[in-house]
Amino acid sequence: MRKVLTRNELAIFADVHVAYEIHQLWHSANLLGILSGECKEGEDRLNVRMLCNSMLDSFGVHARALYYFFYVKPRLEDVVASDYVSDWEAMRPKAGKELKKINQKASKQVVHLTRTRMQYEENIGMKAWNIGGICQEFVGVISCFIELADDYFIGESLMYWFKVLRDNKVPSIIVARDGRDTKLTFNN
């Protein structure tokens, strides 16, 4: 049987661990934008491309962690949004187009070595990550979570990183991992 944390433990968890995932999501997106602008021809191109790939991997892992927190049925050890809001599944916004892709994209492109990875290599449209779109959709669900959860659970750190994610521009589309041209636009 799944054991839910105590009220105090949930408050600490949200302000430390959920805030951390938001923090890392934003920083990964932000660094992708900075590094992608540096990816020009020359000696350092390979190093910059490697850093872009690392940030894309980081973005995928943290996006997946947040997606699981907000949308996936919990396993025994998981802490999820429904631990904070009793009727979360009924009240949360539906996962948007970009969020629906998160689990599969992160699993197939970052976390696991599968045959499906080859399909992503062949289809650049499947491979592209809409960084800004993903961040915007997370802003919507995080905003809903903050509104519905008891104020006791919403600490300073969580609010700070939510506002950073909500109020700052992040790259909208980036294609990385294989040295092909990177296309960036900005949202917000």
Half-sphere exposure (CA, 13 Å, Cβ side) for 30?
12
Residue 67 pLDDT > 50: yes
Predicted local confidence at residue 185, as pLDDT = 46
For residue 1, tell me if it sits in a domain. Answer: no
For residue 160, tell me if it sits in a domain. Answer: yes
More confident residue, 46 or 23: 23
Give the closest residue to 117 by CA, choosing from 126, 145, 125, 65. 126
3-state secondary structure 12-34: HHHHHHHHHHHHHHHHHHHHHHH
pLDDT tens-digit profile of 79-111?
Answer: 999 999 999 999 999 999 999 999 888 887 888
* Domain count for the chain: 1
> What is the band of 188 on the pLDDT scale with cuts at 50, 70, 90?
very low
pTM value?
Answer: 0.87
Predicted local confidence at residue 181, as pLDDT = 45
Dihedral (Cα; 140, 87, 9, 18), 10-degree rounding = -20
For residue 180, tell me if it sits in a domain. Answer: no
For residue 173, tell me if it sits in a domain. Answer: no
For residue 185, tell me if it sits in a domain. Answer: no
For residue 110, tell me if it sits in a domain. Answer: yes
For residue 178, tell me if it sits in a domain. Answer: no
For residue 188, tell me if it sits in a domain. Answer: no
Mean pLDDT of 47-51: 78
Strand partners, 129: 174
pLDDT tens-digit profile of 123-142?
Answer: 656 677 888 899 999 999 99
Which range marks the domain in which residue 77 is found?
A: 7-167
